[in-house]
Amino acid sequence: NGPLQVAEDAIYSVGSLLMPQVETKLGFGMDTRSETTLMMPLTDEDSEPPEIGNAEAASFLKMMWRAHLQVIINAGPGAGLLKFMPKASQPHVEVMLEPGMLAVFMPSVVKFSYKPSPKSLSLSCWFLEAEREFVLTDVGDAMQDSLMLTASGPPFPTKPEPVTVCAMSTRYAFGADEPAKVWAGFSKSGWDTGIEFPFARFDVNIYYEENADQTSGKSYTRHGGFSDGIELFDCRFFDISPVEAAGMDPTQRQVMEVTYVCLQAAGWSKKNLSAKSAQIGMFVGLDKNEWNGMPKEISAMGAASSANSITANRFSYSMNLKGASMTIDTACSGSLVSTHTAKIYLLYKQVDQCVACLTTGVNLSISPATYIGCCAAGMHSHTGRCFTFNETADGYMRGEATASHCMKRKVFERDTGDYSMVAGSQVNQDGRSASLTAPNGPSQERCNIATIR
């Protein structure tokens, strides 16, 4: 009957009352609760947090994945200040927890901070949903068909003439250097690739300020998704001198290597293309040119090494490809617009018809200036993560990736290893809308309808 047991009984009673309601009202089930944590400030001085091992971190993250409701009880003798921070644009809400009071809230909806009075005891725990169980098995022949994602429905259309993606290659953050790794990582493993800025890019401490605003010239985020080894390049394979390669925009190097993997998967190689050229189009979608703003030595090849137009042309030149070759910069939609343009070139009847088109999208974070500019506009997340469809979302996290696919004018054939079919695509513009950069709902609706039709 001591005070701790009274608090434990209160938590149990609240959990019993909430359990039948949360699934229908809040959309998740309550299965159990975490152990109770006792909190008591003994000094006003800050102390360094203890070192956390991998096992402890994994156990905590495993629990937090299931945690939806938190309970805090103030056992006294002093009061405690519970502060809720719903959104950056909304006012904070402060609740004074008097001794004996209990608070229940959803940390997924609001950020919070709790500061008890000196030498006051507080108790906290989480209500958890059921633990997810995963079974790992070998992928045998019997399961192979079930892993192929082919939508059911009517037969694939044959008119207008279909365009099929027959080969792919990727180089995403976290070492995801092939499509299967990307699929497994993002859809099955729950990773987000977010890390602190690598020192090899730039010293984040010079450009970071936690509460940076429009006038500070600093970034308030220090996280992103980064590809490994962008400084590495097999220049001899592409017949590029080491001197020229040293000054090349890293996006050009990434495009060269990743696109060649895709080209080879589609059935061509440097050797056979050197002997006989092919009418293969090369389309690159990118966003910005950060390399031009980086300090570097200027060589005789400096203009070509940092020009966006050369990013696509260099690969066509190196591989002896004679189809249309162009770089398209429409900001975030560059890769999609490049895919649409490549589809048009495949379907358009002309002399020297393209037999295939390569489309490559690339985005690298090599300059701190882009982060500073996006933070000044309030676009980046203060927490350094994307929380899509979550009320705590406060911006986005930049991520690096280079991906390429090869399209041919043919009917989708699952047995030959085709990935997908481009059933429809469309490109339009807002015209004169709310502002130069604001999305326009009616224009997006027309674009979607045209694509579906």
**pLDDT, tens digit (0-9, with 9 covering 90-100), for 6-22:** 888 888 898 888 888 88
Phi and psi at 7, nearest 5°, equal -65, -40
Helix or strand (DSSP H, E) at 264: helix 250-265
- 84 in the same domain as 12: yes
At 149, is the pLDDT very low, low, confident or very high (cuts 50, 70, 90)?
A: low
CB 226 within 8 A of CB 201: yes
Taking the CA atoms of residue 162, residue 339, residue 177 and residue 364 in that order, the dihedral angle to the nearest 10 degrees is 180
Residue 312 in any domain: the answer is yes
CATH code of the domain containing 92: 2.60.120.620
Q: What's the rounded mean pLDDT across residues 253-269?
A: 95
Taking the CA atoms of residue 308, residue 311, residue 313 and residue 315 in that order, the dihedral angle to the nearest 10 degrees is 180
- 239 in the same domain as 110: no
- 212 in the same domain as 82: no
At 139, is the pLDDT very low, low, confident or very high (cuts 50, 70, 90)?
A: low
- 187 in the same domain as 96: no
pLDDT at 192: 80
Q: What's the rounded mean pLDDT across residues 248-253?
A: 93
CATH code of the domain containing 442: 3.40.47.10
Outline where 203-354 has alpha helix (H).
204-207, 242-246, 250-265, 270-275, 302-305, 308-319, 334-347
CB 254 within 8 A of CB 362: yes
Residues whose CB is less than 8 angstroms from the CB of residue 67 and which lie 6 or more positions away in sequence, other chains included: 34, 107, 126, 127, 128
**Each residue's pLDDT tens digit, 285-314:** 998 888 888 877 777 676 778 889 899 999
CB 320 within 8 A of CB 274: yes
Q: Is the pLDDT of residue 102 over 60?
A: yes
Of 82, 108, 128, the one marking the end of a domain is 128
- 423 in the same domain as 356: yes
Tokens representing 57? 């971190």
- 280 in the same domain as 407: yes
Residue 199 in any domain: the answer is yes
Question: Is residue 72 exposed (0-12), middle (13-18) or buried (19+ Cβ within 10 Å)?
Answer: buried
pLDDT at 336: 95
- Position with higher pLDDT, 29 vs 340: 340
pLDDT at 159: 63
- 357 in the same domain as 293: yes
Residue 49 in any domain: the answer is no
Average pLDDT in the chain: 86
Of 83, 110, 128, the one marking the end of a domain is 128
Question: What is the extent of the structural domain holding 225?
Answer: 158-447
- 123 in the same domain as 165: no
Give the other-Cβ count within 10 Å of 399's Cβ: 19
Q: What is the DSSP letter of 175?
A: G
pTM: 0.65
Report the largest interatomic distance among the alpha carbons of the chain, rounded to a whole angstrom: 91
Number of independent structural domains in the chain? 2
- 304 in the same domain as 179: yes
pLDDT at 300: 65
pLDDT at 76: 82
Rounded CA separation 104/181 (Å): 40
Q: Is the pLDDT of residue 88 over 60?
A: no
CA 90 to chain centre: 27
What percentage of residues in the chain have a pLDDT greater than 90? 39
Residue 146 in any domain: the answer is no
* Residue position matching structure tokens 């989708």: 412
- 208 in the same domain as 119: no
The residues facing 407 across adjacent strands are 165, 357
CA 98 to chain centre: 43
- 257 in the same domain as 328: yes
Which span out of 8-12, 138-142, 354-358 was modeled with the highest average pLDDT?
354-358
**Each residue's pLDDT tens digit, 162-180:** 899 999 999 988 777 888 8
Beta-carbon-side half-sphere exposure of residue 18 (alpha carbons within 13 Å) = 26
Residues whose CB is less than 8 angstroms from the CB of residue 439 and which lie 6 or more positions away in sequence, other chains included: 430
pLDDT at 392: 87
- 365 in the same domain as 252: yes
Residue 113 in any domain: the answer is yes
Residue 298 in any domain: the answer is yes
* Residue position matching structure tokens 């097999």: 234
**Each residue's pLDDT tens digit, 183-193:** 887 777 777 88
